[in-house]
Amino acid sequence: MKNIQEMIFVKKLKKLDKKQRLRYGLMVGGILAFAPPVGFIAQLFGSATICGNLCPRMAIGTAFTRELFMRTAGVALLFIWLGITFFYGRWMCSHICPAGNLTEFGSKLIPKRFKIDYCKILDAPLFRYGFLGAYVLLPVVGVSSICCSFCSFSVIPETFGALFTPRLADMLMSGTRLFSVLLFVFVLGIFARDGRGHCHLVCPVGALDSIVNVLGAKLPFTLRERVNQADCSGCGFCATNCPASAIQVDKTAVKKVNIDQRRCYQCRSCESDCPKNAIYYGKLSKQKESWHDKEAEQILVLD
């Protein structure tokens, strides 16, 4: 078992597999598309960052107020975001969103022993749903400062953009902005286990996204991270390495591994970690639940 662990570790170090290369490429693309100093997609819609016209957080925060009708681009992006999640899983959160991508890259510079695993300490999805509820209802009663004053979509790309544009650095010099930088860039950002503490705990778009992810996962034609129980040996590498603590392993159960779709954000690292290739990204219909399925498949092949 130690040799297998070493093999996986060395493989990761020496060579990223295709899925992770694709993911990191898309993450860089998401940063270039939606974050300063480039933000080429954001600029098409009159913004320098995802904050502004394109902001899907504001689309959620103004869902019950008159401002919603002013935010066409943000509402459209939100629907595209949730639509992709419903059919294909949380690609937008894990591969495209600039806020999560920037802090995830930043967290790779921090040694593991300095990081906090929020997903192990808290039941992150439930905390996030509570936040979502308050986030949606507060503007209705006239408290909308949460939308913009303490916003990861605004602060994280701005902090990154400040490295290139002095104007953005000047904008950060206020009490509220500095507090938000401390919270989202550092405490819930680069010092979180996967750099995504703010994603797991306090992102309203992520909260809504995870609800849509769970709803879509039950359908046979949607694509998600799934487990072939017949191939699974119950070694638990996937659960140990999952950055969202989304995988539960019970060797004694018939269904040894369960992926919690509320937590899973489609980073696809479990597919690489599994020594038996039991975890796949695909449809429910391809899932082999038991040894009976595997035997039936073999009989069909022999025939």
Partner 1 sequence: MSTKLDKWLTGTIFVLSGVLYVYFLGGFVSPKLNDSAHAVGMLNAKGGVAFHPVEYALDEALFGQFSLLLTAKVLPPVSGDLVVKLIGPEELQYVVSSRYPPGLPIMNRLDRWYTFENSIFKDVTTGSDLVIVVKIKPPKSSGDYALNITDNSTGQLYYTMPVAFLDKGALASDEDCHE
CA 153 to chain centre: 14
Other Cβ atoms closer than 10 A to 289: 13
Site string for partner 1, 157-196 (x = CB under 8 A): ----x--xx-xx-xx-xxxxx-x-----------------
SS3 at position 54: coil
**Pick 4 or 182: Cβ nearer partner 1:** 182
Site string for partner 1, 192-221 (x = CB under 8 A): ---------xx-------------------
Q: In the complex, what is the shortest distance from the CB of residue 273 to partner 1, in angstroms, rounded to a whole number?
A: 28
Name the segment binding partner 1 (CB under 8 A); options: 23-31, 109-117, 146-154, 225-233: 146-154
Phi, psi of 6 (to 5 degrees): -65, -40
- Contact indicator for 42, 31 with CB cutoff of 8 Å: no
Burial of 158 (0-12, 13-18, 19+ CB in 10 A): buried
**Pick 128 or 288: Cβ nearer partner 1:** 128
| Residues 30-49 within binding reach of partner 1 (CB under 8 A) | 36-41, 43-48
> Applying CB under 8 A, does 143 fall inside the site for partner 1?
yes
Handedness of CA 135, 141, 144, 146 (dihedral sign): negative
Q: In the complex, what is the shortest distance from the CB of residue 42 to partner 1, in angstroms, rounded to a whole number?
A: 8
Q: In the complex, what is the shortest distance from the CB of residue 137 to partner 1, in angstroms, rounded to a whole number?
A: 9
* Residue/partner pairs of 90-93 with CB below 8 Å, 24 or more apart: 90/209, 90/210, 90/213, 90/264, 90/265, 90/266, 91/26, 91/266, 92/209, 93/199, 93/205, 93/206, 93/209, 93/265, 93/266
Q: Is the peptide bond before 111 cis (omega within 30 degrees of 0)?
A: no
Name the segment binding partner 1 (CB under 8 A); options: 16-24, 120-128, 236-244, 267-275: 120-128
Name the segment binding partner 1 (CB under 8 A); options: 81-89, 102-110, 147-155, 238-246: 147-155
**Pick 139 or 243: Cβ nearer partner 1:** 139
> Applying CB under 8 A, does 144 fall inside the site for partner 1?
yes
Tokens of 278: 């039991």
SS3 at position 283: coil
> Applying CB under 8 A, does 86 fall inside the site for partner 1?
no
**Pick 144 or 287: Cβ nearer partner 1:** 144
Q: In the complex, what is the shortest distance from the CB of residue 154 to partner 1, in angstroms, rounded to a whole number?
A: 10
Q: How far is 164 from 58, CA to CA, in rounded Å?
A: 26
**Pick 4 or 134: Cβ nearer partner 1:** 134
Judged by the rule CB under 8 A, the positions of this chain that interact with partner 1 are 36-41, 43-48, 52-53, 67, 70, 122-123, 126-135, 138, 143-146, 148-150, 161, 164-165, 167-168, 170-171, 173-177, 179, 201-202
